[in-house]
């Protein structure tokens, strides 16, 4: 569990009684963001008709997110493209940087993912109420449900709506933490089983690394696409 | 065998996991010591990332994508236009070639007809002339035929008159001689002429 420890880097910074010191978590957030900015900046420095490799990377990620949004939330979600793009890239890069040995995985901390998810939840709810007024509450009343079941359904809908930030944040956090823990455990086996028995867990470790890279991408994608789906609910009231 | 090993490994992993939890006093994620710091830095870093991306980088990418898209559509349109033009020119060319062919055919036909007509005309004229000549010649021959017995008779009369005169030395009446000659010629008529 050592890899999940947060520790202070540099001096203790306090605003009043609140500790906002720069930590290794902050460091890796910064590294991820800078990596995104540097990569995309190189990719957009020379806009040529036939893209270079970096430009292709930037444009591919742009069109990937753009397609994801237009597929799930439609054209009304265009103003939120920049936010979802940043969100996707940030989560993806944090996950990927976590795959480097001895690094720190920002997204393996519930507080980080929960803040992101809560921000999305509150933002989406506000957008919903702005777009549809009090009619946004119709989201909790699905059409075509018998009157007898309606009270039950409404309660379930409200609970599921309220659990969105929790499920969104816990999904990402648990995936990252479980993956890293698994790798740590298998790594421990390689040492404890030694030269004779250690090969099996080593091969597991190698396979798990591949899996974790997949999961790192997949979870970023899932996080972004669920955001799109929530946004879709707020923009186009389907129920 | 393999299954057993894997099972043992998984079992061990959970044991180890439990040990790790115990040894390092639970999950560091649930330790609220640095929560505020993480929230603060997350807001700061993510916020600035969002602002930088949306203000500077994303517009550039989207502009370039748009530019490429419009460039491609323009090129496709231009290609389409040029293809249409070339099609038109090809049609034009084929039409011209057909026209020229037809014209050449017409000229050829006209020339042939003219030549044939000329040949026919000349043939007719020639035939007419030949016919005339033949007719004339036949007529002449007929005339000659008609005239010749009389002339012969006349010559015969004269010659016989001269012969008689020289042999006998006396003049003989022409009418007598002519009567004799006519007589002879009548006898020989079928022999010399009139076949």
Backbone angles phi, psi at A168, to 5 degrees: -60, -45
pLDDT at A46 over 60: yes
- Inter-chain residue contact A185 with B58, CB threshold 8 Å: no
What does the mean pLDDT of chain B come to?
A: 83
pLDDT at B114 over 90: yes
Answer for the pair B61, A48: CB distance below 8 angstroms, yes or no: no
Which token pair is B110?
A: 């006209």
**What is this model's ipTM?**
0.91
- Inter-chain residue contact B29 with A55, CB threshold 8 Å: no
Smallest CA-to-CA distance from A112 within A13, A27, A25 is with A25
Q: Give the model confidence (pLDDT) of A7-33 as tens digits.
A: 888 888 888 888 888 999 999 999 999
Chain centroid to CA B33: how far? 94
Higher pLDDT, A25 or B167: A25
Q: Give the model confidence (pLDDT) of B63-99 as tens digits.
A: 989 999 999 999 999 999 999 999 999 999 999 999 9
Distance CA B108, CA B103 (A): 8
Answer for the pair A88, A223: CB distance below 8 angstroms, yes or no: yes
Report pTM: 0.71
Smallest CA–CA distance, residue A222 to chain B, in Å, is: 19
- Which chain A positions have a beta carbon within 8 Å of B3's beta carbon? none
- Inter-chain residue contact B65 with A59, CB threshold 8 Å: yes
Q: Mapping DSSP to helix (H, G, I), strand (E, B) and coil, where does residue A19 land?
A: strand
Q: How, if at all, do strands A14-15 and A18-19 pair?
A: antiparallel
Answer for the pair B34, A21: CB distance below 8 angstroms, yes or no: yes
Backbone angles phi, psi at A8, to 5 degrees: -70, 135
Side-chain-facing half-sphere of A109: CA atoms under 13 Å: 30
Residue A183's alpha-carbon distances to A96, A189, B95, in angstroms, are 15, 10, 78
Q: Give the model confidence (pLDDT) of A154-174 as tens digits.
A: 999 999 999 999 999 999 999
- Select from B16, B57, B64 the Cβ nearest to the Cβ of A185: B16
């Amino acid at each position: 569990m050592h890899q999940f420890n947060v520790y202070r880097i540099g001096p203790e910074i306090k605003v009043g009684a609140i500790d906002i010191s720069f930590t290794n978590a902050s460091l890796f957030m910064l590294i991820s963001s800078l990596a995104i900015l540097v990569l995309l900046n190189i990719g957009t420095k020379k806009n040529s008709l036939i893209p270079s490799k970096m430009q292709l990377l930037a444009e591919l990620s742009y069109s990937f997110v753009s397609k994801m949004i237009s597929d799930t939330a439609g054209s009304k979600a265009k103003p939120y493209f920049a936010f979802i793009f940043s969100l996707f890239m940030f989560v993806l890069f944090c996950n990927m940087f976590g795959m480097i040995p001895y690094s720190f995985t920002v997204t393996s901390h519930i507080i980080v993912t929960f803040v992101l998810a809560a921000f999305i939840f509150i933002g989406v709810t506000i957008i919903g109420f702005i777009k549809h007024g009090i009619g946004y509450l119709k989201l909790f009343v699905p059409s075509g449900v018998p009157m007898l079941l309606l009270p039950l359904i409404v309660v379930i809908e409200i609970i599921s709506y309220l659990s969105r930030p929790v499920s969104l944040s816990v999904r990402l956090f648990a995936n990252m933490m479980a993956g890293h823990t698994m790798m740590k455990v298998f790594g421990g086996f390689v040492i404890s089983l030694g030269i004779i028995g250690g090969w099996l867990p080593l091969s597991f470790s190698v396979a798990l690394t591949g899996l974790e890279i997949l999961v790192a991408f997949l979870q970023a994608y899932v996080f972004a696409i669920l955001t799109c789906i929530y946004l879709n609910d707020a923009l186009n009231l389907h129920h | 065998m393999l299954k057993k090993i894997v099972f043992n490994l998984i079992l061990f992993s959970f044991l180890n996991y439990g040990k790790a939890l115990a040894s390092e006093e639970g999950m560091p994620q649930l330790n609220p010591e640095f929560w505020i710091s993480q929230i603060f830095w997350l807001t700061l870093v993510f916020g600035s990332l969002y602002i930088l991306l949306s203000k500077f980088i994303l517009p550039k990418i989207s502009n370039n994508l748009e530019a490429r898209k419009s460039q491609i559509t323009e090129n496709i349109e231009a290609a389409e236009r040029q293809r249409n033009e070339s099609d038109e020119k090809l049609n034009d060319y084929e039409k011209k070639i057909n026209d020229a062919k037809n014209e050449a055919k017409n000229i050829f036909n006209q020339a042939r007809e003219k030549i044939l007509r000329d040949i026919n005309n000349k043939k007719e004229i020639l035939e007419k002339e030949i016919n005339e000549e033949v007719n004339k010649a036949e007529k002449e021959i007929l005339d000659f035929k008609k005239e010749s017995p009389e002339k012969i008779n006349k010559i015969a009369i004269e010659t016989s008159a001269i012969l008689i005169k020289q042999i006998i030395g006396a003049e003989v009446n022409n009418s007598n001689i002519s009567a004799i000659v006519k007589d002879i010629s009548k006898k020989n008529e079928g022999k010399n002429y009139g076949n």
